[in-house]
Amino acid sequence: MSAPFQRHRITPWILMAPQLGIVLVFFFWPALQAIEQAFYVEDAFGLSREFAGLVNFKAVLSDPTYYQAAGTTLIFSLAVAVGAMSIALLLAVMADRVIRGARVYRTLLVWPYAVAPAVAGVLWLFLFDPTLGLISGLLGNMGIEWDHKLNGAQALTLVIMASIWKQMSYNFVFFLAALQSVPNSLLEAAAIDRAGPWRRFWTITFPLLSPTAFFLLVMNSVYAFFETFGTIDTVTSGGPGGATTTLVYKVYQDGFVGQDMGASAAQSVLLMALVGGLTWFQFRYVEKKVQY
């Protein structure tokens, strides 16, 4: 084998080395540590530990608050994923039809993605503050008493809205790019055959968007499970009464607040398994309906 060919085989690995190093240090290593820690009982300061086998997993699975958090996570994840994708698709369709000022509209719709989750939570917290909030004041004038600090359903609704607002810009970019790649000749041929706008969208445009929609379904599911921690922490801190405590936030509460590292690690392992299983299900069954 010639030396130039050998150099070309090594070059891709050299170029990927920084990214692979980051993945190994910040993902695989912590994941392996969490798996190991799940089988031990540690003191609050981490100075000593004792092998406990499956004790941590049994404690987690026998805890009623864990199942409450799992139910909250299910509702929260479905609402965020479906809401963020649906609103983003609607906005992308509308923005794709705009001729004047199209760049301005598209830029404004992309901006929320640049906002950090914690900052997004603070923005929505100010808008819905029971005392000083603009939107809560308008709701009060309409006879709707808003206080997410006491009402669990309102608190969950607030974090769902904040999370959707944060994520829909990400979805908007991909949906808009996919819409612009749809051949106009297909739409024009359907229009000649007297197909209305609604029928053209569902029979031509939407099937061509299915690969993008499937990708965003996976990404939004991961976002709802993991990346909404900052929003929940700044808006409700998991309250009131655990109404907005999701599985990822319960990992933080039990591990960093309650200092129960073993149970927290066991929950993180279960959460990784749950998300991994959900992703497998999506690729195994949902992808069959995607039209490439």
Q: Is residue 158 part of a domain?
A: yes
Quickly count helices (H) and strands (E) in the chain: 14, 2
SS3 label, residue 99: coil
Q: Please tell me the predicted confidence (pLDDT) of residue 244.
A: 95
Q: Is residue 23 part of a domain?
A: no
Q: Is residue 62 part of a domain?
A: yes
Q: Please tell me the predicted confidence (pLDDT) of residue 4.
A: 56
Q: Please tell me the predicted confidence (pLDDT) of residue 46.
A: 67
Q: Please tell me the predicted confidence (pLDDT) of residue 6.
A: 56
Q: Please tell me the predicted confidence (pLDDT) of residue 48.
A: 80
Q: Is residue 83 part of a domain?
A: yes
Q: Please tell me the predicted confidence (pLDDT) of residue 99.
A: 64
Q: Please tell me the predicted confidence (pLDDT) of residue 2.
A: 53
Domain count, the chain: 1
Domain containing 56 equals: 52-289
Q: Is residue 196 part of a domain?
A: yes
Q: Is residue 20 part of a domain?
A: no
Q: Please tell me the predicted confidence (pLDDT) of residue 292.
A: 63
Q: Which contacts of 92-100 are long-range, i.e. CB under 8 A and separated by 24 or more positions?
A: 92/172, 92/175, 92/176, 92/179, 93/175, 93/179, 93/201, 95/172, 95/176, 96/176, 96/179, 96/180
**CATH code, domain with 255:** 1.10.3720.10
pLDDT in single tens digits along all 292 residues of the chain: 555 555 577 888 888 999 999 999 988 898 888 889 899 888 767 678 888 889 999 999 999 999 999 999 999 999 999 999 999 999 998 888 766 667 777 788 888 888 888 889 999 999 999 988 899 999 999 999 999 999 999 999 999 999 999 999 999 999 999 998 888 888 888 888 888 888 888 888 888 899 999 999 999 999 999 999 999 999 999 989 899 999 999 999 998 888 888 899 999 999 999 999 998 988 888 877 776 6
Q: Is residue 179 part of a domain?
A: yes
Q: Please tell me the predicted confidence (pLDDT) of residue 191.
A: 84
Kindly report the number of other CB atoms within 10 A of residue 255's CB atom: 19
Q: Please tell me the predicted confidence (pLDDT) of residue 3.
A: 54
Token couple for 166: 């944060």
Indicate left, alpha or beta for 192 from its phi (over 0: left) and psi (-120 to 50: alpha): alpha
Q: Is residue 7 part of a domain?
A: no
To which H or E segment does residue 283 belong? helix 261-284
